[in-house]
Structure 1
Amino acid sequence: MLSESLKNKYQPCEEIGRGRFGVISKAFCPITQSFFAIKTIDKRLLSDPTDRQCLENEPKIMTLLSPHPNIVQIHDMFESENALHLILDLCQPVTLYDQIIQHDLSEPKVASYAKQLVSGLAHCHRYGVVHRDIKPDNIFFDFRGNLKIGDFGSATWLGELCTADGLVGTPYYVAPEVVMGRSYNEKVDVWSAGVVLYVMLAGVPPFYGETAEEIFEAILRGNLRLPSRIFRSISSEAKDLLRKMICRDVSRRLSAEQVLRHPWILNGGETISMD
């Protein structure tokens, strides 16, 4: 499926990932003596018009946002009749999801990850881009250990009214206004990032159920709980930030820029609990 023009510039190596619409492979560029990731999207699998629109948007959005230290960068693009190939930063095989599963993350480590995540989101929002699928599986690390937001396949631009619509995202991380079918703004990413922060600190999501419908019902009830058996050792500053990110009232929910100015973020998680 790889085009000849791509093969002339990059030497494909092993497959390193697979998604709904294609595969991700490792590739070597002899010109730069560097390794990259090739995201190959099979256009024949895109029967839904929304999916086709996302296919067109993803490279444009990633080009607009590049470069930023906390966003996976696009370096090149090749298109053939049946496939689109995006040349991206090569990241570690371990995602944030893997880190959460494998390690008991300290507050300073979580604060560092949260700062990098929200810094990337703030950059997106300055350009009117909403990611719409922030979750640990879409958060990667480069080989220096820097966090990078990836997979902009669900991302969109805010329109003239500075809103977007559509039920997009992953159930555990979707904001209530998305579930309700309302128009929404970039703060849906802040809600999702707040849920990611909760999961990093607690090891479990704040809203859960056996099915997507049950998860959505829990999100719509919207009562954020910070059980003492889980959050006993978590600082009051971290819990304050969680409440201000996972906030049903969009007008009171912090923006990404405001999150970056929160004391817990500014102090790198090195805080003394006041509980």
Structure 2
Amino acid sequence: MCEALKNNYELCEVIGRGKFGTISRCFSPSSNSFFACKVIDKALLTDPLDRECLQNEPKFMTLLSPHQNIVQIYNVYETEEFLSIVMELCEPVTLYDEILQGPVSEARAAVYMKQLLSALAHCHRFGVVHRDIKPENIFLDSRNKIKLGDFGSADWLGEVGTTTGLVGTPYYVAPEVVMGMEYNEKVDVWSAGVVLYTMLAGIPPFYGETAAEIFEAVVRGNLRFPTRIFRSVSPAAKDLLRKMICRDVSRRFSAEQALRHPWILNGGETASMD
């Protein structure tokens, strides 16, 4: 472990485990505050792509900080063996946990989606594409404020404005990613649309028994609104979903366009939050 990290923070209990390391709660005596510390074991990074992605993560988070809906980074410590990232300590609750309780009301979904789209618009203005938007990477606090985290799969679009690579999670990944095409930041908008659909329906729009079957459904992109599930969902919400989960990238909304959609501006079609 890095001496500089030990000198500034006291590592506490482990609060999460990933493929390449752990996330622990840590305490800063100088600020009398708690943070989260992600410690990545470089010995586990046998794939050059994994090494590149995880080393890019702190760079992207630093570039994007601060933003009220993105997990903030504070310090990075690196040795030959470990990469340690000290960041904002979020509640252990994610949007995935909320969806497990059943469909989310339109009013609440609109609040979450407005914040997520705000975070994405901020990323895209800096030329950063997240590439793994899913409920598990969206943290919630007690005030219904979201924080987008896990930039381990993010990429920089650069001057060309596109990137490549099969990255993401099957249910949420955009068809152009699955098809091996070059793609831009609108893959995040597709994924955000799938998150919105899943919030309102309690199930994702594209599914299968295996990853291959899910990918097939995604590439077909046959967006449906089953009556028994969407009976009480407003036409405005469905309209936004069609514009976000749109196979034609040129017609798919950007994050900025989605933020200006009437359903977002009106806070959903419900009178008040739950």
TM-score tier, shorter chain, comes to over 0.9
Q: Does 1:90 pair with 2:108?
A: no
| Letter of the 1:13 counterpart | C
- How many pairs does the alignment contain? 271
Distance 1:101 1:34, change over 3 A: same
Q: Does 1:163 pair with 2:167?
A: no
Q: 2:123 maps to which residue? A: 124
Distance 1:271 1:263, change over 3 A: farther
SS of 1:53's partner is helix
Deviation track 1:184-204 (CA, whole Å, cap 9, x = no partner) reads 000000000000000000000
Deviation track 1:140-167 (CA, whole Å, cap 9, x = no partner) reads 1245442011000000000321000000
Q: Does 1:252 pair with 2:256?
A: no
TM alignment of 1:40-59, pairs within 5 A:
40-59=39-58
| Letter of the 1:64 counterpart | L
Deviation track 1:229-267 (CA, whole Å, cap 9, x = no partner) reads 100000100000000000000000000000000000000
Q: 2:28 maps to which residue? A: 29
Distance 1:42 1:50, change over 3 A: same
Q: 1:209 maps to which residue? A: 208
SS of 1:5's partner is helix
Q: 1:151 maps to which residue? A: 150
Q: Give the superposition deviation at 1:102.
A: 2.4
Task: Give 5+ residue unaligned stretches, structure 1.
Answer: none
Task: Give 5+ residue unaligned stretches, structure 2.
Answer: none
Q: 2:138 maps to which residue? A: 139
Q: Give the superposition deviation at 1:271.
A: 5.4
Deviation track 1:83-108 (CA, whole Å, cap 9, x = no partner) reads 10000110011111001112542110
Deviation track 1:114-154 (CA, whole Å, cap 9, x = no partner) reads 00001000000000000000000011124544201100000
Measure the CA separation in 2 of the matches of 1:245 and 1:47: 36
Partners of 1:23 and 1:39 within 8 A in 2: yes
Measure the CA separation in 1 of the matches of 2:4 and 2:174: 42
Deviation track 1:198-245 (CA, whole Å, cap 9, x = no partner) reads 000000000000111000100111110011110000010000000000
Q: 1:60 maps to which residue? A: 59
Partners of 1:237 and 1:271 within 8 A in 2: no
Please give the TM-score of this superposition, normalised by the length of structure 2.
0.97
The runs of at least 4 consecutive aligned structure 1 residues that moved more than 3 Å come to 142-145
Partners of 1:154 and 1:168 within 8 A in 2: yes
Measure the CA separation in 2 of the matches of 1:79 and 1:214: 40
Partners of 1:264 and 1:271 within 8 A in 2: no
TM alignment of 1:158-237, pairs within 5 A:
158-237=157-236
Measure the CA separation in 2 of the matches of 1:205 and 1:145: 22
Q: Does 1:17 pair with 2:16?
A: yes
Q: Give the superposition deviation at 1:4.
A: 1.8
| Letter of the 2:233 counterpart | I
Partners of 1:108 and 1:269 within 8 A in 2: yes
Deviation track 1:42-82 (CA, whole Å, cap 9, x = no partner) reads 11000111111112211111000000000001000111221
Alpha-carbon RMSD:
1.1
Please give the TM-score of this superposition, normalised by the length of structure 1.
0.96
Q: 1:71 maps to which residue? A: 70
| Letter of the 1:119 counterpart | S
